[in-house]
Amino acid sequence: MQMTSENSILTTKFAWPLGYYSDSVHVGLKPNQDDMGWLYSKVPAAAAGVYTTNQFQAAPTKLTKQTINSHHQIQAVVMNSGNANSCNGPSGWADAMTMQKIAAKKLAIDPNLVAIASTGVIGEPLPMAKIQAGINHLALSQSKGITKAILTTDTHPKTITLKCVINNRPVTLTGFCKGSGMIHPNMATMLGFVVTDAAIEGSQLQKLLRTTVDETFNQITVDGDTSTNDMVMVMANGLAGNESLNETNEDYPTFVTAFKQVLTKLAQEIAGDGEGASKLVEVNVTGAYNHTEGQQVAKAVVGSNLVKAMIFGADANWGRVMQAIGQTTAHVDVNGVRVAINGTQLVKNSVATEFDEAKVAASLKNSQVTIEVDLNAGSAAGTAWGCDLTYKYVQINASYRS
């Protein structure tokens, strides 16, 4: 791959940035597939994280938040699926700390450089004998098996690798995540990880992550539920050799753009892979009073069960979009709203227009549906992503533990 410009940002085949190693293993938390692994940087990396606001925050999430907030630096993260280690009381906290210590010993690093991430069934004790055996079997390789080992009801891994040039140095950003159900984040998604070989201070990385999450992961919804284990974490080990990034660096905007592309792509992947989903739905709001209200309306529309069911049924029932808009507290010109679906205008000045019902219904059968809303109340905009609501969603969640 050849870059033609210092500011080029190119999507490329999945690869770890310089200095990162990973591995995965099957320990028996789930049947017949890898369910545990780790990601390791050969040098301590600047780190940042955002975490679920659910009051029942899981022990591994709490521990990772505490670890990263103490010095914004980690060197490894150990992950498992099949068991959330959530709502397990003091023993859950002890088990999370034990995972941290076992991994640190195996890697010969300080426990305070190890983050923990778990996902799966809530309220079941973590089988520590299996966990310890799994960690002891993990190696340092270039495997991407960890991107599958963290999956629960996901239908496929969600990954992206971008390359760009920062201060005349090639920089790689790789992201992967899991999330399919219990997705209505107020921070991030179920589990998301971004690693880069760029040099950037931890405090700057934390600021960038927080801002970017608000524009990406916080703008997706599958089912209106927020997990106890939601977390997005970033590591930057600096091995690309660029000048440490901040707002004064001339190439900082390039890194910010690439970083947002990574998080946006992962957020869209989660929305499109919602439990039982058959369609990715994007809602674009214009004419909002301010950006916050534009984001609020976009997420309200994409998160409405009536809208989601309408899209699943390929029914151009635009009244469901209107009710979702009206339930928000955003400024709206109630006599001037416009609504379009897949490029066809259905509503103008808050009343129906003439449109080809069959054409719109046919377009609603596509794998991607775009709804455009103009609130006619200002000049700001907002975007959110979600999916349709299908029979399969109920089927999956009616028997999640079995």
Structure confidence at residue 340 as a pLDDT band (50, 70, 90)? very high
Verify that 187 and 267 share a domain, yes or no: yes
* C-beta of residue 123 within 8 angstroms of C-beta of residue 86: yes
Query: Does 310 fall in a domain?
Result: yes
Q: Is 397 annotated as a binding residue?
A: yes
Look at residue 121 in the predicted model and tell me its pLDDT: 87
Q: Which of 147, 161, 189, 390 is catalytic?
A: 189
Give the domain CATH number at 332.
Answer: 3.10.20.340
Q: How does pLDDT run across 50-67, given as a tens digit for each residue?
A: 998 888 899 999 999 999
Verify that 204 and 332 share a domain, yes or no: no
Query: Does 79 fall in a domain?
Result: yes
* C-beta of residue 100 within 8 angstroms of C-beta of residue 65: no
Q: And the tokens for 213?
A: 């999450």
Residue 380 has pLDDT above 80, yes or no: yes
Q: Is 189 annotated as a binding residue?
A: yes
> Which of 22-31, 135-144, 303-312 has the lowest average pLDDT?
303-312
Look at residue 153 in the predicted model and tell me its pLDDT: 75
Structure confidence at residue 6 as a pLDDT band (50, 70, 90)? very low
Residue 1 has pLDDT above 50, yes or no: no
Residue 3 one-letter amino acid: M
- Cα-Cα-Cα-Cα torsion 107, 109, 111, 117, nearest 10 degrees, comes to -50
Q: Is 370 annotated as a binding residue?
A: no
Question: What's the structural domain count of the chain?
Answer: 2
Q: Is 402 annotated as a binding residue?
A: yes
Query: Does 105 fall in a domain?
Result: yes
Residue 300 has pLDDT above 90, yes or no: yes
pLDDT, average across residues 273-282:
78
Verify that 219 and 355 share a domain, yes or no: no
Where does a domain end: 246, 272, 298?
272
Verify that 93 and 224 share a domain, yes or no: yes
To the query of whether residue 172 is one of the catalytic residues in this protein, the response is no
CA angle at residue 224 from 219 to 227, to 5 degrees?
90
Q: And the tokens for 180?
A: 């399919």
pLDDT, average across residues 231-246:
96
The interaxial angle of helices 59-71 and 89-107, nearest 10 deg, is 50
- Return the percentage of the chain with pLDDT > 90, whole number: 77
Rg for the chain (alpha carbons), in Å?
22
Q: And the tokens for 242?
A: 């660029």
Verify that 257 and 390 share a domain, yes or no: no
Give the domain CATH number at 50.
Answer: 3.60.70.12
Verify that 30 and 119 share a domain, yes or no: yes
Question: CB-based contacts of 110: which residues, under 8 Å, 6+ apart?
Answer: 104
Verify that 235 and 187 share a domain, yes or no: yes
Structure confidence at residue 181 as a pLDDT band (50, 70, 90)? low
Closest CA to 54 of 31, 87, 83: 87
Residue 176 one-letter amino acid: F
Query: Does 4 fall in a domain?
Result: no
Look at residue 334 in the predicted model and tell me its pLDDT: 95
Verify that 382 and 328 share a domain, yes or no: yes
Verify that 117 and 217 share a domain, yes or no: yes
Give this prediction's pTM.
0.82
pLDDT, average across residues 365-371:
94
Name the E strands within 237-393: 280-288, 338-341, 344-348, 351-352, 368-374, 380-387
Verify that 268 and 338 share a domain, yes or no: no
pLDDT, average across residues 202-230:
84
Structure confidence at residue 43 as a pLDDT band (50, 70, 90)? very high
Verify that 245 and 327 share a domain, yes or no: no
DSSP track, 170-221: EEEEEEEEE-SSS---SSS-SEEEEEE---B-HHHHHHHHHHHHHHTGGGB-
Domain coverage including residue 289: 280-398
Verify that 126 and 198 share a domain, yes or no: yes
* C-beta of residue 204 within 8 angstroms of C-beta of residue 229: no
Look at residue 270 in the predicted model and tell me its pLDDT: 84
* C-beta of residue 225 within 8 angstroms of C-beta of residue 184: yes
Query: Does 2 fall in a domain?
Result: no
Q: How does pLDDT run across 71-126, given as a tens digit for each residue?
A: 999 999 999 999 999 999 999 999 999 999 999 999 999 999 999 999 988 899 99
Q: Cα separation of 236 and 254, whole Å?
A: 16
The interaxial angle of helices 319-326 and 305-312, nearest 10 deg, is 160
Where does a domain end: 233, 248, 272?
272
